[in-house]
Structure 1
């Protein structure tokens, strides 16, 4: 099919971060997906298990893994379902399924909540991990530094890295991040196994009142949903892979996704199950704290977390840069220059750093907003688009599977924010900005 774009459109597409480079290999898809999916949130999965209990906890983990792998397959398939056209961005697929304006309004706000929200959380996570390393290595002979100072140090790395132009250019950073996520996950479950089941282990729910247990259950659902956020960047990752009618991009992309999901399982399931098995309901919301390992091992694990969230921040930031730069260049008619990119990206890093410093319980807020955005974009929006575009026959296997995913996803979208709201209220007592 002939390229119908004008010379100006081609020039702009060659400048924008998602469409500027299309020479990625299938393994780029693997480590971009691992970096996007396996966040530091994996360390809180044993805590989520403690709020869910053995039966519901294992069920929720397994069902989430299966559903999100299925919806990821759908997105990979839909990337090039129109001959001669590629849906390089999540909102472009939404516009095709729901219409030009409605598609934008459905997808873009949810995608921005996830991507910007995750980047703010990673600012705080990176700062906390650096602070932990500092406190462990520097006992009493160091100057006192607050969390906000470590967030600024973490942000300084991003003021440099955000000027890498596109997803392919951050592939080295992303690979390092993927290796680190596998490393600190392995440290967590291996050290827990060595420690052995505690003598006073208790597998009953930590919250003894029925109402509190229900709220904690809802909140734990949100924690699990947070662990599967990679769908928000999957079409953008696939856009970097070359494609021809004979060799469409979905082949290498799917191969990369399968390998990534095996890595996800290797990271998630041992940490969640072994962590809960060893500590029961006394496990901390970060298993590294519960382990109380030798200093060198805690330091190493926290440094791994820092390297990982550096890469994850970049992978989630790139689609945001693409949206902002597309709006500036195509809608507001700015010229695509290096200084336009320099200004907008520096503002973005400064903004995420500022919010991370200002709001200490942003993780709770993300659980609240994430219920509205993580669940749809990951669990059921791909299914709705599949039904709208392919229109499978009513009560066929495809129709039934998609509706099951939609119903479970909607329940998650409703219940997770309820639990998170209670968490926010409890955490915000005595709250001070920039504390």
Structure 2
């Protein structure tokens, strides 16, 4: 009996040693969710290996307020300047209805997406990016060769467009006080590109929270400037005649409707919802919804005020950007300091918008599609 007991004891000890060794060699990371009573496995053996892009968003320390900052910066941007122009293609009724409808649809979609992400996290497969979702839904090849290139194109467009818009704003500021200056547009674009490169050195998405808060404040301030400017010009003696009918032939009106809808839809677009949710500290229940409420509060306050006031002031003569309407044929319709302040605010907000997308998406896709090798920390200099 003693011999059998000692044999059983030795077998149990050996099994415990093997189990302990396996646990030490595994790379599983668990965090508890006290509200739901389960453990979330962030890196199980069946989960994809964490790459640079995943590690960039894996600093999960954010609150719902930080989530609101990230969401607002990823959605609200200088594209708001085109909203009055979209109304010229849709008219009062179509413009307001579609602006409301697009907001409701995107809010519902983003909230539903966050619930799906939370559900997968409960199942032990935390998804940091759309590519991770596509890997589970469509398969690894679709994720890499279909979803990956699409988001890469979005990233590439943002990285190119950000310095271009910033460079134009910087040149406009320069020409306000130096109309005969010799500096060219490409020089201002280079300056903005250097600033973008510096912002790309931030180590994680979570570290952008203060920049995104500033970006949120900036977009609110310049939206107030645009609204007040439109109301002022609309009541001034230099105000253009107001005509709100949709111009053009039947074909032009039809294509204009699609163009106006696409402009408004673009203003609500955000392609980084999973990355933003990945920055939230557990438990994440309800935090994404609160962040969306913060974001859409800013959207309602800015989008509707700029679109309605701009279209009211200039009617179907609204230009591609509302700032162009503040410049008359012979003189400025608003003081120089107004243009200076507004362009500075837009310039700074463009930097925040570019900083949200530049390092994260390039870390994911350049190093996934181009060179899958280990590189030092200063790789950010290449991606910017």
TM over 0.5: yes
Matching residue of 1:93: 133
Corresponding position of 1:57: 95
Per the alignment, residue 18 of structure 1 pairs with: 57
Contact 2:152-2:365 within 8 A present in 1 as well: no
CA contact (8 A) 1:51 1:216 kept: yes
**Structure 2 CA distance for partners of 1:4 and 1:45, relative to 1, 3 Å:** closer
Equivalent residue for 2:343, pick from 297, 302, 307? 302
Pair 1:255-2:293 in alignment? no
Shift in Å, 1:191: 1.7
Which of 315, 324, 349 does residue 280 from structure 1 map onto?
315
TM-score, normalisation: structure 1: 0.71
For this pair of structures, how many residues does the alignment match? 332
Return the offset for 1:67. Answer: 0.5
- Residue of structure 1 in register with 2:31 after alignment: none
Aligned to 1:210: 250
Moved over 3 A (4+): 1-6, 9-15, 103-106
Could you tell me which residue of structure 2 aligns to residue 226 of structure 1? Answer: 266
CA contact (8 A) 2:231 2:309 kept: yes
Unaligned runs of 5+ in 2: 1-38, 327-332
Superposed counterparts of 1:239-254, under 5 Å = 239-243=278-282, 247=283, 249-254=284-289
Preserved CA contact (<8 Å) 1:192 1:278? yes
How much does 1:343 deviate? 4.5
Give the Cα separation in 2 of the matches to 1:290 and 1:134.
19
Q: Which runs of 5+ in 1 are unaligned?
A: 350-435
Say if 2:61 and 2:279, in contact at 8 Å, map to a contact too.
yes
> 1:330-349, aligned counterparts within 5 Å?
333-339=372-378, 341-345=379-383, 349=384
Indicate yes or no: 2:356 matched with 1:321. Answer: no
For 1:24, what is the secondary structure of its paired residue?
coil
Contact 1:12 1:336 in 2 (8 A): no
Aligned partner of residue 61 in structure 2, secondary structure: coil
Instruction: Give 1:73 deviation, angstroms.
Output: 0.4
User: CA offsets, 1:218-252, max 9 Å, x none?
Assistant: 2222211220122x111101111112xxx2x1421
Query: Greater shift after overlay, 151-160 or 42-51?
Result: 151-160
**Contact 1:35–1:178 (CA under 8 A) maintained in structure 2:** yes
How far 1:112 sits from its partner (Å)?
2.1
2:201 is equivalent to residue 163 of structure 1: yes
CA positional deviation for 1:134: 0.6
Please give the root-mean-square deviation of Cα atoms over the aligned residues, in Å.
Answer: 2.3
Q: What secondary structure is seen at the aligned counterpart in 1 of 2:119?
A: coil
Alignment-derived partner of residue 408 in structure 1: none
Q: CA deviation at 1:308?
A: 0.3
SS of corresponding position for 2:353:
helix
Over alpha carbons, which structure has the higher Rg? 2
Equivalent residues in 2 for 1:68-87 (5 A)? Answer: 68-82=106-120, 83=122, 84-87=124-127
CA distance in 1, matches of 2:217, 2:64: 17
Distance 1:296 1:3 in 2: 51
Q: Normalising by structure 2, what TM-score?
A: 0.80
The equivalent residue for 1:416 is none
8 Å contact from structure 1 (residues 94, 106) kept in 2:
no
